[in-house]
Amino acid sequence: MRNAERARLFAPLFAALVASAWIVLWAWGAGPYARYVHHASWIDLPGVAALCESVPGGSVMLDALLHSAAWLLMIAAMMLPTVFPLLANFRRLTATRADRRVLLALLVSGYAAAWAMFGAVAHGVDAVLHQLAQRTPTISLYAWLLGAGVVGLAGVYQFSRIKYRCLDKCRSPLMFVMEHWSGRSARRDSFLMGVNHGAFCVGCCWTLMLLMFAVGTGSVGWMLALGAVMAAEKNLPSGRYIGKALGVGLIAWSGWIVLPHIV
């Protein structure tokens, strides 16, 4: 297949991959095990408890593995559309190489690794908070305060300098590729480029992703809305204004959560 033909197929195949991730998430959310996409334990699944008991440390390992799989599926659905310009530029740069598919896979793997690390930390903190809430009922009474804090933090962060430094890196995909690609150690460069770009994406969007823990990580509608906002921020000329308007809205939402409890 010639380069021109591959170029025409790249965007449709990429769109099909992202669409597949959304379809799987929707099917998961509509199925009998929908609650396991949220904060519940996977160990409650029929037959899983017995399997965990037969493997040393099986409960922890299986719980972590399945939570990670769910998180990475969400990242594929939400974040891959935002990095399409980077992948398209990288594909053009490596189009004549025999190992171009491997290099592209390594780039995506590095990007996913950065978000997987963030997800592990976020899920760990979320699990600790749920454990504390179960052991200390008073904490549950003030859960609204934590929710308002997360929403308010996301709103304020939309105006921070570090947010826009990271966003600038995400909005300049060709420059980013040229800065991180030497070609001398192609596979290493590809993976590290993905990690670096993923780190900047985390720096740009981490507070928005935390909102999923406030409203439920399995909410497909919420993920669609967040994914659309993040894609617009990164890829549209008016992205900065969209981000700031969102910040105002989130701060107002945080105040609306707090108001009934102090009046």
pTM: 0.77
Closest to 14 measured CA to CA, from 71, 68, 83: 83
Is the pLDDT assigned to residue 234 strictly greater than 80?
yes
The 3-class SS string of the chain reads CCHHHHHHHHHHHHHHHHHHHHHHHHHHHHCCCHHHHCCCCHHHCCCHHHHHHHCCCHHHHHHHHHHHHHHHHHHHHHHHHHHHHHHHHHHHHCCCCCCHHHHHHHHHHHHHHHHHHHHHHHHHHHHHHHHHHHHCHHHHHCHHHHHHHHHHHHHHHCCCHHHHHHHHHHCCHHHHHHHHCCCCCHHHHHHHHHHHHHHHHHHHHHHHHHHHHHHCCCCHHHHHHHHHHHHHHHHCCCHHHHHHHHHHHHHHHHHHHHHHHHC
Question: Distance between CA 51 and CA 66 in Å, rounded?
Answer: 14
pLDDT at site 42: 36
Q: How does pLDDT run across 78-115, given as a tens digit for each residue?
A: 787 888 889 889 988 888 888 889 999 999 999 999 99
Confidence band for 131, pLDDT divided at 50, 70 and 90: confident
111/83 Cα distance (integer angstroms): 9
pLDDT tens digits along 15-48 = 655 566 556 655 655 554 444 455 444 334 444 3
pLDDT digits (tens, 9 = 90+) for 154-173: 999 999 999 989 999 988 88
* In the block, residue with structure tokens 């992703």: 209
